[in-house]
Amino acid sequence: MPRVAVVTGGTAGIGLATAQLFAARGWSVAVIARDETRLRQAERMLTEHGRPVLAISADVADSVAMDAAAARIEVELGPIRAWVNNAMSTVVSPADRISPKEYRRVTETTYLSQVYGTLAALRHMKPRNRGAIIQVSSGLGIRAAPLQAAYCGAKFAVSGFTDAVRCELIHDRVDVSLSVVYLPAVNTPQFGWSRTRTGRGQYAPDPVFDPRLCAEAILYAVEHPQREVWVGRTSLMMAAAQAIAPGLADRKAASMWDAQLEDTEKPDRTGNLFEPAPGEAAVDGRFSSRTRTSPHEFWTSRERDLLVAGVAGAAILGLAGAAALARAPRRLLRRL
C-alpha cells in the first residue's frame, strides 16, 4: 500500500522542500495551497520523482475545504499516513499598528489552519489507529520577538492545542503521533511575501538555515515519532533561554528589532495575508549566500530527556558521594 503524505503550504519554501523529500523517498504526495500557478509548478516538480502527486487549491483557514481536501486525497491517493501543517502568514509590525482584522487572519492561517488540518487528518487516522501529524512551528513559538506579535501568538497557541490533543490520544490509546518542529530563521521566499508596516523590508537575521534541513527534521519526526524537534542551534538556544532566564531573554529579544529589518527604507507591502503573493514555486529565498547547509543540525525531545536524565544522574551520584564522604571516619578523611 502506498505511503501518502499531505503538506499544507507545499508550493514554496519549507513546504515544497518537504514535499520534494517525501516524493524522493517514495511517498505519494498531496500539496495544499492557494495559488494555482505555483500549485501546477510544484506538481510538475514532484511528479519528476515518479510517485503519484495531487495538488489542491484551498484556503487552509477554511475548515470545510480542509475536510474536503482530506477526503479527496483518501480517494485519489490512498490512506493518509502523514500530515504536515506548514502553512502560515505574518504581519511584521509593532503590535499596536496591526489591525484586528490582520490579527484574526494571521491567527486563522497560522494557528487555526493547524487545528483544521489536525482534525481533518485525525478523522481518517484514528479509525485506522495509525499516522503521524507534524506541526511546523518556530523558535518564535517558544521565545517571542518584537514586530511579530500576531505570529508569535498564533504559534504559541499551536503548542497548547497540540499538547492537549496528544493527551487525549494517549488517554484513548490511539497510535497517532503528534510532533511539533521548531524552526530557526530559514532561507525561504516568505521573507518577500509577508505583510510589513515598518517602512523597511523584512530581513532574516543570522544564522539562516536551509529549508532542506527543516524537511529532513520533519520527515524524521514522521518516521521516528518525537514529541518535539528543534532545528538549528538558535531554536534550541531560544528554548533554553526562555526556560532558564526569561527576563534576560526578553531583553535579548528586544535587541533583535533592527536585525529583522533591512537597512534601507522600502514601501510597506500588503503581502500574502489575504491573497497569494506573486512568485514562482521555489524552495530558496534571497539569502542563499548566508545559508547554513548542515544536513543534520536538529535535536529531538528524546535526546533532551536523555541529557537531562544523565545530568540528574550525575548530580545524584555526586550528592551520594558527598554524603558518603561526610559519614566517613575522621581517620580515613585524614588519609585522603
* CA atoms of 62 and 186, how far apart (whole Å): 27
Could you list the active site residues? 151
DSSP state of 175: -
Q: How many CB atoms lie within 10 A of CB 71?
A: 13
**Please, are residues 180 and 119 in contact by the beta-carbon 8 Å criterion?**
no
* CA atoms of 158 and 170, how far apart (whole Å): 18
* CA atoms of 77 and 48, how far apart (whole Å): 17
Whether the upstream peptide bond of residue 207 has omega within 30° of 0, thus cis, is yes
* CA atoms of 333 and 319, how far apart (whole Å): 17
* CA atoms of 331 and 308, how far apart (whole Å): 37
**Please, are residues 58 and 69 in contact by the beta-carbon 8 Å criterion?**
yes
